[in-house]
């Protein structure tokens, strides 16, 4: 590429004083913005110290002309605020959404369901907690307050779990969260146990609030050696 001429440099400085940006001014004189960038760069082999001083002076004393082209606005795509699954990213969870989430957790609503209600996932709230100690502290307080309520919620769920075919999920949650199931957690045999004994204990001692007819059906079924399947259990009709 040919070296810049004195005429090109002088015209470039005139345009710069008139408010032209480097790229547009360089193009106007038949050169490129890169060429002028290089001659003002001290590390470049084409560096021109005298021109560099004059260029800086032109910038300092420019008087934009109405004929000067406007700089091209760079258009960036909008920042991504959700995951592929549509969950709001941790950085974009609003204060109001945080408050709604924590309020539900404090009421005993499972954290996954509380997160879903505000349009995101528990993963994103966990990320938010790792980034913001203040939120993490409020999250811990809400969880501690809501855990007894969650246990009560869990005690009220057997009929719904069983009717939806989720007996195993119900059993696992009870074994994890309810203190009255401690004996089953320390048992060496799986729930189902020898001759269904552990499930009988689960039904009689852990689920005392189930309707009496349902308890009788479950126990009779276990004593007969059968597996508990929702289709085999007649759930009481709501009155």
User: Of 93 and 234, which is predicted with more confidence?
Assistant: 93
pLDDT of 58 higher than 80: yes
- The answer to whether residue 148 sits within a structural domain is yes
Residues 101 and 162 in one domain: no
Domain count, the chain: 3
Domain, as residue range, for 142: 90-152
Whether the Cβ atoms of residue 115 and residue 125 lie closer than 8 Å to each other: yes
- The answer to whether residue 45 sits within a structural domain is yes
Residues 196 and 218 in one domain: yes
- The answer to whether residue 65 sits within a structural domain is no
Residues 166 and 142 in one domain: no
Region 206-231 average pLDDT? 50
Q: What local confidence, expressed as pLDDT, does residue 226 receive?
A: 46
pLDDT, the chain, mean:
77
Per-residue pLDDT of 5-52, as tens digits, reads 999 999 999 999 998 989 889 999 999 999 999 999 988 888 999 999
- The answer to whether residue 18 sits within a structural domain is yes
Q: What local confidence, expressed as pLDDT, does residue 81 receive?
A: 94
Per-residue pLDDT of 83-119, as tens digits, reads 999 999 999 999 999 999 999 999 988 899 999 999 9
**Residue ending a domain, choose from 106, 131, 152:** 152
- The answer to whether residue 71 sits within a structural domain is no
**Residue ending a domain, choose from 60, 77, 103:** 60
Residues 194 and 140 in one domain: no
pLDDT of 71 higher than 80: no
- The answer to whether residue 85 sits within a structural domain is no
Per-residue pLDDT of 114-135, as tens digits, reads 999 999 999 999 999 999 999 9
- The answer to whether residue 214 sits within a structural domain is yes
pTM higher than the cut 0.85: no
- The answer to whether residue 80 sits within a structural domain is no
3-class secondary-structure state, position 34? helix
Residues 138 and 164 in one domain: no
Residues 94 and 146 in one domain: yes
Tokens found for residue 226: 């059968």
**Other beta carbons within 10 Å of 110:** 16
Residues 165 and 214 in one domain: yes
Percent of the chain at pLDDT exceeding 90: 44
Q: Does residue 5 come out as left (phi exceeding 0), alpha (psi in the -120 to 50 range) or beta?
A: beta
């Amino acid at each position: 590429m040919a070296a810049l001429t004195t005429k090109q440099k002088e015209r470039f400085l005139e345009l710069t004083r008139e408010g032209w940006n480097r790229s547009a001014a360089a193009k106007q004189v038949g050169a490129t913005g890169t060429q002028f960038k290089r001659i003002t760069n001290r590390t470049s082999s084409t560096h021109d110290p005298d021109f560099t001083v004059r260029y800086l002076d032109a910038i300092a004393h420019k008087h934009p002309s109405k004929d000067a082209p406007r700089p091209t606005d760079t258009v960036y795509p909008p920042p991504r605020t959700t995951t592929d699954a549509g969950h709001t990213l941790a950085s974009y969870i609003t204060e109001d959404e945080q408050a709604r989430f924590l309020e539900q957790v404090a009421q005993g609503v499972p954290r996954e369901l509380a997160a879903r209600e505000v349009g995101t996932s528990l993963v994103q709230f966990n990320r938010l907690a790792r980034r913001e100690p203040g939120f993490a502290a409020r999250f811990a307080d809400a969880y501690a307050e809501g855990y007894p309520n969650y246990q009560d919620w869990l005690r009220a769920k057997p009929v719904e779990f069983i009717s939806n075919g989720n007996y195993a999920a119900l059993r696992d949650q009870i074994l994890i969260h309810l203190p009255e199931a401690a004996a089953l957690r320390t048992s060496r045999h799986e729930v189902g146990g020898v001759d269904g004994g552990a499930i009988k204990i689960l039904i009689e001692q852990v689920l005392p609030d189930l309707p009496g007819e349902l308890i009788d059906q479950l126990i009779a079924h276990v004593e007969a050696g059968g597996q508990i399947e929702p289709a085999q259990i007649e759930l009481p009709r709501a009155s």
